[in-house]
Structure formats: structure tokens, C-alpha cells
Amino acid sequence: MDIDILSLFPEYFETPFACSMIKRAREKGLLNIRCIDIRDFAEDRHQTVDDRPYGGGPGMVMKPEPTVKAIRSVRRSDSHVIYLSPQGGVFKARLAEEFAKKHTHIILICGHYEGIDQRIIDSEVDEEISIGDYVLTSGAPAAIVFVDAVSRFIPGVIGHPEGPYKDSFHGSETFEGPQYTRPFEFDGKKVPEVLVNGNHKEIEKWRSTQGREKLEALRHRVGENNEKSIS
């Protein structure tokens, strides 16, 4: 998969995409990430990328010309253009899987300041995605979350091909059960017997019950999940 990230701070991505699984995925050619500086597409000698909002209000807005030029410089016939925005549909595991399977080229637009001129969204963007109902200073951290979650569903990125499908939110759409490793006893607490009896059916059942109960208790504690979501 090819991902082009357009932002005002390409240096933001240097470390997150240069370690661990994303690094290996890039080395193997499974994931090609380019970080593009929108400022390079500014037209004046001061490289202006923002201006005051029409109608008044605090902060600045990203001007349409540099961002649209940046998008068009990387756009291909198979591109899917996403604006990372708190006003988008909330990103879920199901969507991460869908993006990995459906798209070969994703362009991520990271906003800054008060956001981007609406005309960029109207003319260039296929969909807006939010990583949660809160406001970040820029789309850059959201892009890192997006790339990380999507890349787990690209075959070959995770060592165990079935790994992402066994994690929380997949299959039964609950949490994965609790995990234990050696030692068998730590601080007076033993590993649950069911995990050492070798009965894999029982282990599966125990894990899914534990995951479901934890999820239900959490949802109950924080109030019913009424986030906006994309169908």
C-alpha cells in the first residue's frame, strides 16, 4: 500500500515510521510512506499557508491553494483522499481493515490551526476520518494512529497472519481476553488454571467471556457508547 501524508510538519513522522513493525513493513516494501510538506506548494516568497477566517473568529485557516496543489501532485487514479478531522466518522478496527483491503493508495491530509478551507474538502476529499471525539493540535498524531492501525491488516506486516483478527474488536467484536506469560506465579498471583489445562476450546471460551464481560463493564461505567460512526 502507498500512503502519502500531507502536512505542515513532515518531520513529525520521522521517528514513529522509523521503528518497529512499520519500519520493517517499509523495508519489505509492503508499505510505502511519503511525508509531503504542504508549505512547499505555497505560492508566495513567504510560503504562506494560512490566513484569517472569513466571518471572523479565533485562529487561522489553511488556505486552499497550497493544499490542493499538494494533493494534485500525488493524486493517482486509485487514490482515496482522507482529511483527518474531528468532524469525521470515528475510526474503528473495522474501518482499518476495510482501508487496508480496499485501497492501494491513500492520501492523508493533516490540518493545522483552525482547520482547512472547506473548498479543499468539497473538491478533493473522499471522506473525513476522526480518531476520536476530542480536538488535537494537528492531524499529524491522527495520521500516525491511522497508518499504524491500517498497516496491521496488510498481509505480511504482522508476523502471525491471523494476529489482527484475534485482537480486540474482531470476530466477536469484544475485547480479547487477558494475557499471561511466565512465571506461573507472580506476587502471590497464579495464572488462571484454564490456561494451562491444554483444552483449547475451553481456553477460547474463557477468553471470549472475559473479554465480553470487561467490555460490558467498561461501556456501563462510561455510559453507553453513542459516538458517531460510519455505516
Active site residue ranges = 86, 114, 152, 167
Binding site for ligand SAM (CB under 6 A): 84-87, 110-112, 114-116, 130-132, 134-139, 142
Q: Which is nearer to ligand SAM, 10 or 139 (CB)?
A: 139
69, burial (CB in 10 Å: exposed 0-12, middle 13-18, buried 19+): middle
Tell the smallest beta-carbon distance from residue 114 to ligand SAM (Å): 4
Separation CA 201–CA 40 (nearest Å): 57
Q: Which is nearer to ligand SAM, 135 or 217 (CB)?
A: 135
CA geometry: angle 137, 141, 142, nearest 5 deg = 100
Q: What's the distance, CA 227 to chain centroid?
A: 17
Tell the smallest beta-carbon distance from residue 152 to ligand SAM (Å): 19
Tell the smallest beta-carbon distance from residue 166 to ligand SAM (Å): 27
Tell the smallest beta-carbon distance from residue 126 to ligand SAM (Å): 15
Residues 6+ apart with CB under 8 A from 32: 1, 2, 3, 26
- By beta carbon distance, the residue nearest ligand SAM is 111
Q: Which is nearer to ligand SAM, 151 or 174 (CB)?
A: 151
Location of C-alpha cell 502471590: 188
Q: What's the distance, CA 141 to chain centroid?
A: 9
Tell the smallest beta-carbon distance from residue 70 to ligand SAM (Å): 14
Q: Which is nearer to ligand SAM, 141 or 192 (CB)?
A: 141
Which of 100, 75, 205, 105 shows the shortest CA–CA distance to 150?
Answer: 100
The 3-class SS string of 117-180 reads CHHHHHHHCCEEEECCCCCCCCCHHHHHHHHHHHHCCCCCCCCCCCHHHHCCCCCCCCCCCCCC
Separation CA 48–CA 220 (nearest Å): 48
Q: Which is nearer to ligand SAM, 85 or 151 (CB)?
A: 85
